[in-house]
Amino acid sequence: MHLVIKLMELLVVLLLGTLLTTRGIPWLLARCLNVVGVSTSFSPVTEKRIRRFKAIRRGYWSFLLISVLFVTSFFLELTVNSKALRISYDGRTAYPAVREWVDLFWVFGDISSFCKKSDFGQVGDSEVDYRQFARYAAEPSLARSELEKAKSDLAAERSAYLAKNPEPGAGASQYQMRRHQRQMEKFAKRSEGFAMLEKTAAVFEGGRASCWMPVYPVGPSDLRYDLPSNPPNRPSLEQGAPFGTDLSGRDVLPQMLYGFRISIAFALVVSVLGYAFGILVGGVQGYYGGWIDIFTQRFVEIWGSIPFLFTIMIIASMVQPSFWMLTLLMVVLTSWLGITYYVRAEFYREKAKDYVQAAIGSGVSDWRIITRHILPNALVPVVTFAPFGIVAYIGSLVSLDFLGFGLPPGTPSWGALLRQGLENVKFYPHLTVIPTVALAATLYTVVTIGEAVREAFDPKVFSRLR
């Protein structure tokens, strides 16, 4: 029954992701573009290409799969997280996971998802132990029985201590007196929380507490103290860690999922920024030509000779780069370069054509000609190279993380897992196998998309005798 509910939740999230990907986001994009004043209707040529792309089923389904998974991965905070979606205790209700999820998109500051233990019937000032809370909520008698057990444990410990060290009499030294007193204070301090836990047990038994946990109640940076052996733990379904844990005891499954989101987001941002800048530079080069072109071309050649991985590693070895800094480094050092060559050549070709000359002759501004007239016709290389660029950038991120010069330690990343896998290749193969399979599957899917896009947008017709 429990499992069925979890599966239903998962299904709902996946459905939501699918709907968003196929309907919501395209609609929203079109709306936004229309507001800015860009027409979203495609030319007949492009429509034909898109139809051809959809006809290549392997590529089209890969595209759907990756985009649905990527969009769905933005709901990870709600599905794979140690925080509760909704927690209510004695009239007090909080939504920590939902707040964390909103914080992901909230750019104007931090939204705290912190819930204090003492507010939710636990002893202490740190974050609520949601797992324990969920256990009590599911089985209210547990709160009482565990409290009773803690009480009897303490009483047993106390009497054992007293039996071993009887209360010092009048003849005891100052030192013995003080030691005894301190020990008694310790016992008293431990029993202080009992009054509160008594109330907690009553609340749970009265059905005034409830908790709704995500489908997989472990986040990417949570340590699995609940597993019996020391980390790393091998994968085990019975223990509730289907992918095992890494060297520090963090669960591998959430790390893989969050790592997927980070990898794809990184590659997408690097591609989009790089393409925007590269198209601009290549377009200006090809449109104006002359000295601008020569100087920029020399610069591009020099810049392209920088060994970029090495340079990023040098920088990263000195300043720990954040996600955005690493993205910017990738854009500045490599991702804008490749596309300038193609866009420049396309612009040279297009500029010589009649429609551009006609536009120039009728006094249309340069910017408008570049963006509205030539650019749509020069986008074929951009579209065909994009998937392969994404493969390359995911590979770069994994390589950098693997070498230890990537995202900050603690960020869920496939490369860091691979590094741990290399260090423990003999004894913990799951640390290598899981990221390798995930990486190969993801990149293979993207390559399949790329092949289909190339086939659809830039078909090669080979004619051969025989």
Interface residues with other proteins (CB under 8 A) are: 298, 301-302, 305-307, 309-311, 313-315, 317-319, 391, 395, 398-399, 402-403, 405, 418, 421-422, 425-426, 429, 432-433, 436, 439-440, 443-444, 446-448, 451, 460, 462-466
Closest approach of Cβ 22 to other proteins, in Å? 25
Report the C-alpha gap between 147 and 194 in whole angstroms.
Answer: 7
CB of 249 to other proteins, least distance (A): 22
What minimum distance in Å lies between the beta carbon of 447 and other proteins? 5
For other proteins, give the closer residue by CB, 177 or 422: 422
Smallest gap from residue 379 Cβ to other proteins (A): 22
Cis peptide before 232 (omega within 30 of 0): yes
When the beta carbons of 38 and 306 are compared against other proteins, the nearer one is 306
Nearest approach in angstroms of CB 113 to other proteins is: 33
Question: Among residues 17 and 435, whose Cβ is nearest to other proteins?
Answer: 435
Q: Distance between alpha carbon 28 and the CA centroid of its chain, in Å?
A: 23
Which CB atom, from 140 or from 395, has the smaller least distance to other proteins?
395
Cβ proximity to other proteins: between 159 and 322 the closer is 322
Q: CA-based Rg of the chain, rounded to a whole angstrom?
A: 30
Backbone angles phi, psi at 465, to 5 degrees: -70, 135
Q: 209-212 and 92-94 as β-strands: parallel, antiparallel, unpaired? A: unpaired
* E strand or H helix that includes residue 94: strand 92-94
Nearer to other proteins, 101 or 308 (CB): 308
Q: Do residues 147 and 155 touch, judged by C-beta distance below 8 A?
A: no
Estimate the share of the chain in helix, then strand, then coil, as percent rounded to the nearest 5.
Answer: 70, 5, 25
Choose between 164 and 464: whose C-beta lies nearer to other proteins: 464
* Min dist. Cβ of residue 405 to other proteins (A): 8
Could you tell me the smallest distance in angstroms from the CB atom of residue 261 to other proteins?
19
Q: Which is nearer to other proteins, 276 or 422 (CB)?
A: 422
Shortest distance (Å) from residue 109 CB to other proteins: 28
The secondary structure element, H or E, covering residue 89 is strand 86-89
Which residues, listed in sequence order, are joined to residue 127 by a DSSP beta bridge? 116
Our CB check for other proteins shows the closer of 88 and 297 to be: 297
**Nearer of residues 172 and 247 to other proteins, judged by Cβ:** 247
Total residue length of the chain: 466
Q: What is the DSSP string of 440-452?
A: HHHHHHHHHHHHH
Structure tokens at 131: 């797992």
* Encoded tokens for 428: 């913990």
CA dist., res. 413 & res. 257, Å (int): 9
State in angstroms the smallest separation of the CB of 389 from other proteins.
13
3-state secondary structure of 466: coil
- Taking the complex as a whole, how short is the minimal distance between the CB of residue 66 and other proteins, in angstroms? 12
What's the order of all strands across the beta sheet hosting 209-212? 92-94, 86-89, 209-212
What is the rounded CA–CA span in Å between residue 240 and residue 216?
A: 9
**Separation CA 105–CA 110 (nearest Å):** 10
Residue 8 amino acid letter: M
Sign of the CA dihedral 352, 353, 354, 356?
A: negative
Task: Report in angstroms how near the CB of residue 448 gets to other proteins at its nearest.
Answer: 7
What distance in Å separates the CA atoms of residue 162 and residue 325, rounded to the nearest whole number? 61
Nearer to other proteins, 174 or 463 (CB): 463
